[in-house]
Amino acid sequence: MYHILVVDDEPGVRHSFRKLLENEYRVDTAEDAATALDTIAAACPDLVFMDIRMPGISGMEALERIKESYPDVPVIMMTAYGDTQKVIEAIRMGAYDYLVKPLRADNVLDVIAKALRARRVLKRSDFTVLETEAAGEDNLIIGNSEKMIEVYKLIGQLAHADVTVLIQGESGTGKELVARAIHQHSRRSNAPFLVVNCAALPETLLESELFGYERGAFTGATDKGKPGKFEVCNGGTFLLDEIGDMSLVTQAKVLRVLQDGRFQKVGGIEDIQVDVRILAATNKYLDAEIATGGFREDLFHRLNVVTITVPALRERKDDIPALVNFMIRRFNAQLGVNIKGYAPEFVDALQAYDWPGNVRELENVLKKAMVVCQTNILSLDDCHLPKETGTRDRETATPMALVDVAHRYMRQRFSYSEHPFDDVVREVEKGLIERALQMTGGNQVRASHLLGIARTTLRKKIADYGIAGS
């Protein structure tokens, strides 16, 4: 039976707690903080409720002493005064929660359940304890899944080759980290590594940022002009991030740099020669952009000497524990907390989610968990995933996968098919029908119901697509 200590100078409050809790918990009470500290020293409770304003030793002072000697004991502070500063101070000092009187029975029971769950996590032996922080981890790519191993192999193969690399993948997958790894393992590793986000700047600013400008080239140009990133990065590696958002005019100028290493500043007439290795990253399908006129085909072929596709986090969920370990070590210092490990169900919940925002979204979820955690072990109560988690995965996993399939088919067929749309629809229809027949053991009646089409339509499509075994 869990042991709860209630510390309050009001007899009515102590009586109410006993009446509410004594059937399920062992309840002790104390009328002041001094008595409470003696009780805790004699028999440490599993949970403490304590009023802030009491004669003698204040609740805040008692909280500080308890957390010094018994850091794993959850302490829930109570007050009849809505003092915002006291709330902030109590939580900062390590209070598990803070309740304002008059207390509601359902609130008290809820916070007890949550606090005792945290207490159980701390007593368990199956939580993961983090290793000592390693040095120099800031720009590491984390993960040992098969897909990430393939990425590492490509980086190793092309880093020294000094070729242009196109890095593609969804937002938040870590494309810039891949670019940095290429630079760090190349012969240019001691030279500058610069990044420009092409989506973050309007066309005129992007052009001057890349190529620099001469004095008086435009309104606001400084008297001395300014060198561009290409010039500053001479001898190094330059990442053009989100290059799919670059205008066609700027694309033409970047193409010239790729062709012969020359460019002119905005408002300039002299050619500037540079030796820069260009890497490009995008979350768009550039071949589809070419088909719609949004991207130059000649630039695409110049960039696409080697392509690295960074997998989405949902495609490498086995890497989530390693990512969590790394992020906790890094964020402990950034956030001023001391998280030492996590319960198995915490990572289980992370691995059950599909992460549309990829590693960047995982970082944000983990930061929140670490900030709100009232112990030094992350538990399921600290895992605040988006509310739609339960339904989002089921409802969007298949559409997202189908979109990926459609993009792959379109990329393949744009180059040779006269009817790419029809070809893709045909492939998707054929795949759906084959899957429905597999699920129904070849029963066409049940398969037609599953697909929501007439049996005659199904039979015709089976014949048209040459589906065997039906």
Whether 400 has a pLDDT exceeding 60, the answer reads no
Q: How far is CA 88 from CA 110, 268, 406, in A?
A: 21, 58, 51
Could you give the CA distance from residue 447 to residue 93 in angstroms, rounded to a whole number? 62
Q: What is the model's pLDDT at position 412?
A: 52
Tell whether the torsion through CA atoms of 62, 65, 69 and 73 is positive or negative: positive
pTM: 0.66
Q: What percent of the chain has pLDDT over 90?
A: 42
319 within 8 A of 140, measured Cβ to Cβ:
no
Average confidence (pLDDT) over 7-20:
93
Q: What is the model's pLDDT at position 170?
A: 92
**Unique residue bearing structure tokens 């304003």:** 53
Record the tokens describing residue 324, joined without a space: 């969590």
Q: At what angle do helices 455-465 and 444-451 cross, to 10 degrees?
A: 100
Which range (135-144, 235-244, 336-345, 437-446) has the least confidence? 135-144
Whether 135 has a pLDDT exceeding 50, the answer reads no
Whether 401 has a pLDDT exceeding 70, the answer reads no
Mean pLDDT estimate for the chain: 84
Q: How confident is the model at residue 273 (pLDDT cuts 50, 70, 90)?
A: very high
Q: How confident is the model at residue 397 (pLDDT cuts 50, 70, 90)?
A: very low
291-305 confidence digits (pLDDT tens)? 888 899 999 999 989
Average confidence (pLDDT) over 76-83:
78
Q: What is the model's pLDDT at position 51?
A: 92
Whether 391 has a pLDDT exceeding 50, the answer reads no
Whether 205 has a pLDDT exceeding 70, the answer reads yes
Domains in the chain (CATH in brackets) are: 3-123 (3.40.50.2300), 146-309 (3.40.50.300), 313-384 (1.10.8.60), 391-465 (1.10.10.60)
